Amino acid sequence: MELKLVILGFLKRFGPLHGYELKEKIANEVSDFVNVKLSNVYYHLEKLHEEGYLESEKDISPVKKEIIVFSINKRGLSLFHELLEKLLIQDENIFYKDDVILFFADEYSENRLIQYFNKKLENENYKHKYILNHRKLTLKYLPENYRKTADAVFRHSIIHTEAEIKWCNEVIKLFQGEKNE
């Protein structure tokens, strides 16, 4: 559902796009916070077209290669709003695999757990720096009317990564403390 929603939303917001442009925009603008497989963009684009939610026309690129440009139609706008509305009423069940790992922590050596959480901490620090940088670059180029909500999305991701960093440090200290006792 998310990828269909994103495809329809991008075509609504940016107008007609060909598949590669759409894939690049998704990668550059929402892949930080939307869990989509970019390799599935073309599949869903074709599926939405076949199901009558998109219009298409052939265009010739600057290198004389024929490309297909897609645009959203009235049925597509209706589906976009329907999918968006589903997100508003959908409960979100969050599952953290790390909680399962900790629940069964007695199955691992303390060294293995410390190693795992140190790696997770390293990844979270990288993500945090990446998001901060991506935020700075993105907000600079977004039209003014999208900046406020885009900044809120970035802040959400920043707060999550900061919480994960803090939590990883606590878990590492917990196991290092047990190891030293």
Question: Mind listing the pLDDT tens digit for each residue in 120-154?
Answer: 999 999 999 999 999 998 888 888 888 999 999 99
pLDDT tens, residue order, the chain (181 aa): 688 999 999 999 988 998 889 999 888 888 777 777 878 889 999 999 999 999 998 877 666 677 889 999 999 999 999 999 998 888 877 788 999 999 999 999 999 999 999 999 999 999 999 999 999 988 888 888 889 999 999 999 999 999 999 999 999 999 998 655 5
| pLDDT the model gives residue 165 | 98
CA proximity to 127, closest of 160, 105, 92 = 160
Helix (H), strand (E) at residue 81: helix 74-89
The predicted model scores a pTM of: 0.75
CA distances from 119 to 112, 139, 169, 180 (A): 11, 30, 11, 21
Contact (Cβ atoms closer than 8 angstroms) between residue 56 and residue 105? no
